[in-house]
Amino acid sequence: MQPVDFNELVERFSDILAEDIKAWQFGGKKVKRIGMITGAGDRTDCLHSAKIGMNLIVGSHTFTEIFGVKALAHKYTKERRRE
């Protein structure tokens, strides 16, 4: 992944999730790596991110997990077609 501006990344995720998201820039302005966890973040995540200097983007529980549900439905449909 090419480094991307943190604010640009926040806008992209907001567009993809179709919702307003929360974001805190505790690390560098350019993002080189992304780790993802589905579900809603909490204050502990925010405090830990600040402590280690890691940027944090938080979407809602529903909108971050919908991709997994859609992927599972797609896989199930594909398997059913094989039967």
From first to last of its 83 residues, the chain has per-residue pLDDT tens of 789 999 999 999 888 888 888 899 999 889 988 877 766 566 777 888 889 999 988 877 777 777 777 888 888 788 878 77
| DSSP three-state, residue 57 | strand
> Rounded to the nearest 5 degrees, what angle is found at the Cα of 34, between the Cα atoms of 50 and 76?
125
Domain assignment of residue 35, given as a range = 4-82
- Cα end-to-end span (Å), the chain: 39
**Domains: count for the chain:** 1
Torsion angles phi and psi, residue 77, rounded to 5: -60, -40
Beta strand 22-24 with 4-5 is unpaired
Report pLDDT for 30. 93
Report pLDDT for 5. 94
Q: What pTM was estimated for this model as a whole?
A: 0.68
